[in-house]
C-alpha cells in the first residue's frame, strides 16, 4: 500500500475495532417505521403538495434547474429575492439565503468573528458551528450544555480588549432534543453592549413557536437575537438555509461570507419550492399537534425502558453509552421493523453513544405504538 494512504487505512481499521466505523445505511425493503428522518412535518412524502407546486409552475417547465453561478454572478435573481422578501415580511427581519445550514454556520461565523471577538458556545453545538469557529480568527471557549450560570460568569470575565462577545447556541439540540432558554439569553445580552446572540434554529423552524416560526419567534424580544439560522432541509422538506438579521449584518455577509461568495447558488427551482412549502408550513398546526402527541408517547416508552425521565421533543435520545451495544440495539430494532440509527463518537461525546429517535407527523398512531412496544422490550 502506498505510504500516502497507509495511515488512512490504519485509522479506518481503528474505527472498525472501536465500533465507530461509518458507512451509508441501507435496508432490505419491506415495511419499515422510519425514526431517523428529520422530515418532522411529514412533507417529503406529500404528493398532493408536489402536484400543487408543479401545477402552478406549468408542470415545472417554468422552473430554472440551475443557477450556473454564485449568487453574486447569477443572472436570475427573481426566486432568491422573492423568498428573501417573504421571509423578511414574516419575521420582520432582513433575510439572506445560503446553500445549507453548514454553509451558513461556517461562512457567517468565519466572516463576523475577528481577533477582537470572543466566541462563547454551548458544549453541544453542531459541527458546522465548530468548523466556522476554527475558520475564524476569534478567541473561543465553551460552556457546559445549557449551563447559563457558567455562561454568565464567562461573559462577565471577558477581557477588556474584546469588543464583541458572540454567544452561540441551538434552539433545539440535534442530538438531545432539549431546548435553550432564549429569554434568559436575551436578558444576558442586555447586560453588556458587546454581546451578540447567535441561535441556530435548524431543528426548531417548522416545529416550534408560533406558526412553526421557531423558538426565537416565541421569545420575549426576537429582534434582540442578532443572528438566527433556519434550515430548509429538515421540517421544510427542501434544501438550503437562511439567516435572519439586520441590514448591516446582511450586507456585511454578502461581502465577507466566503461560503456564500464562492459557492454556486441554490437552483432557482429549489428556492421556488422552499417559498411554496414555507407558505404552507405556517398553517400546519394540526401536523405540529400530531408531532407533540407522538413525542409524549415516545418519551413515556423511553422512560419505561431506562427508568429515567427524558425530554418530550421531536428528537429523543436513548442513551446506551457503548458503541458496540448501540449498534446491536439498532440492529435488533430494525429486525422488528423500526429503523433508528446509532449515533456514536465523534457526533456525541464518548460514553453517551445513543439511539436518536426522530419523529415525523407522517407516522401513524399504530406506527408509534409498535415502536414504543419494541423500545420497552
Q: Do the domain assignments include residue 2?
A: no
* Same domain, yes or no: 243 and 303: no
Q: Do the domain assignments include residue 12?
A: no
Q: Do the domain assignments include residue 341?
A: yes
* Same domain, yes or no: 66 and 197: yes
Q: What is the residue-averaged pLDDT of the chain?
A: 94
Q: Left (φ > 0), alpha (ψ -120 to 50) or beta: where does 146 sit?
A: left
Q: Do the domain assignments include residue 107?
A: yes
Model confidence, pTM: 0.93
Q: Where are the beta strands (DSSP E) in the chain?
A: 33-34, 94-98, 117-122, 139-143, 164-170, 195-200, 227-231, 241-245, 315-319, 338-339, 342-343, 354-358
Pairwise CA distance, residues 43 & 264, whole Å: 26
Q: For residue 328, is pLDDT > 90? A: yes
pLDDT confidence bin for 77, thresholds 50/70/90:
confident
Q: Do the domain assignments include residue 15?
A: no
* Same domain, yes or no: 212 and 331: no
Q: For residue 113, is pLDDT > 60? A: yes
**Domain interval for residue 86:** 62-281
* Same domain, yes or no: 181 and 233: yes
* Same domain, yes or no: 159 and 298: no
* Same domain, yes or no: 101 and 223: yes
Q: Do the domain assignments include residue 120?
A: yes
Pairwise CA distance, residues 147 & 156, whole Å: 15
Q: Do the domain assignments include residue 49?
A: no
* Same domain, yes or no: 258 and 293: no
**Number of domains composing the chain:** 2
* Same domain, yes or no: 192 and 250: yes
Angle, alpha carbons 42-47-51 (nearest 5°): 135
Range 174-185 average pLDDT:
97
* Same domain, yes or no: 115 and 248: yes
The pLDDT value recorded for residue 76 is 74
Last residue of a domain, one of 224, 250, 281: 281
Q: List the CATH number of the domain containing 290.
A: 3.90.1150.10
Last residue of a domain, one of 266, 281, 296: 281
The pLDDT value recorded for residue 75 is 66
Range 147-173 average pLDDT:
97
The pLDDT value recorded for residue 320 is 94
pLDDT confidence bin for 19, thresholds 50/70/90:
confident
Q: Do the domain assignments include residue 125?
A: yes
* Same domain, yes or no: 180 and 253: yes
Q: List the CATH number of the domain containing 97.
A: 3.40.640.10
The pLDDT value recorded for residue 22 is 86
Q: For residue 228, is pLDDT > 80? A: yes
* Same domain, yes or no: 293 and 313: yes
Which range (24-28, 42-46, 266-270, 317-321) has the least confidence? 24-28
Q: For residue 376, is pLDDT > 80? A: yes
Residues near 292 by Cβ (< 8 Å), separated by ≥ 6?
312
* Same domain, yes or no: 333 and 223: no
Range 263-291 average pLDDT:
96
The pLDDT value recorded for residue 62 is 78
Alpha helices in 24-165 (DSSP H): 47-55, 78-91, 101-112, 127-135, 148-156
Q: pLDDT tens, 182-200?
A: 999 999 999 999 999 999 9
Pairwise CA distance, residues 190 & 188, whole Å: 5
Place of cell 444576558: 188
Amino acid at each position: 500500500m502506498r505510504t500516502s494512504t497507509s495511515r488512512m487505512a490504519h485509522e479506518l481499521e481503528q474505527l472498525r475495532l472501536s465500533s465507530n466505523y461509518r458507512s451509508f445505511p441501507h435496508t432490505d425493503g419491506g415495511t419499515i417505521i422510519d425514526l431517523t428522518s428529520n422530515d418532522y412535518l411529514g412533507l417529503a412524502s406529500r404528493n398532493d403538495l408536489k402536484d400543487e407546486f408543479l401545477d402552478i409552475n406549468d408542470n415545472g417547465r417554468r422552473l430554472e434547474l440551475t443557477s450556473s453561478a454564485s449568487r453574486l454572478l447569477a443572472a436570475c435573481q427573481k426566486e432568491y429575492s422573492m423568498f428573501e422578501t417573504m421571509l423578511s415580511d414574516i419575521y420582520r427581519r432582513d433575510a439572506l439565503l445560503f446553500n445549507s445550514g453548514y454553509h451558513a454556520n461556517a461562512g457567517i461565523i468565519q466572516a463576523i468573528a475577528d481577533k477582537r471577538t470572543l466566541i462563547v458556545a454551548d458544549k453541544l453545538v453542531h459541527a458546522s458551528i465548530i468548523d466556522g469557529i476554527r475558520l475564524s480568527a476569534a478567541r473561543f471557549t465553551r460552556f457546559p450544555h445549557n449551563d447559563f450560570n457558567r455562561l454568565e460568569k464567562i461573559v462577565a470575565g471577558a477581557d477588556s480588549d474584546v469588543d464583541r462577545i458572540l454567544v452561540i447556541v441551538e434552539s433545539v439540540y440535534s442530538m438531545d432534543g432539549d431546548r435553550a432558554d432564549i429569554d434568559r439569553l436575551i436578558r444576558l445580552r442586555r447586560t453588556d453592549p458587546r454581546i451578540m446572540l447567535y441561535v441556530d434554529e435548524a431543528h426548531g423552524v417548522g416545529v416550534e413557536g408560533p406558526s412553526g416560526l421557531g423558538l426565537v419567534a416565541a421569545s420575549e424580544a426576537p429582534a434582540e437575537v442578532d443572528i438566527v439560522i433556519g434550515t430548509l432541509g429538515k421540517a421544510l422538506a427542501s434544501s438550503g438555509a437562511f439567516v435572519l438579521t439586520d441590514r448591516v449584518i446582511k450586507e456585511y455577509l454578502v461581502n465577507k461570507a466566503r461560503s456564500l461568495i464562492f459557492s454556486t447558488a441554490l437552483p432557482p427551482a429549489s428556492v421556488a419550492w422552499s417559498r411554496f412549502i414555507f407558505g404552507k408550513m405556517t398553517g400546519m398546526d394540526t401536523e405540529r399537534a400530531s408531532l407533540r402527541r407522538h413525542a409524549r408517547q415516545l418519551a413515556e416508552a423511553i422512560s419505561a425502558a431506562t427508568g429515567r425521565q427524558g425530554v418530550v421533543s421531536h428528537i429523543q435520545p436513548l442513551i446506551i453509552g457503548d458503541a458496540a451495544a448501540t449498534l446491536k440495539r439498532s440492529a435488533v430494532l430494525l429486525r422488528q421493523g423500526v429503523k433508528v440509527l446509532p449515533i456514536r463518537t465523534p457526533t456525541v461525546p464518548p460514553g453517551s453513544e445513543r439511539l436518536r429517535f426522530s419523529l415525523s407527523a407522517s407516522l401513524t398512531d399504530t406506527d408509534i405504538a409498535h415502536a414504543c412496544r419494541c423500545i420497552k422490550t
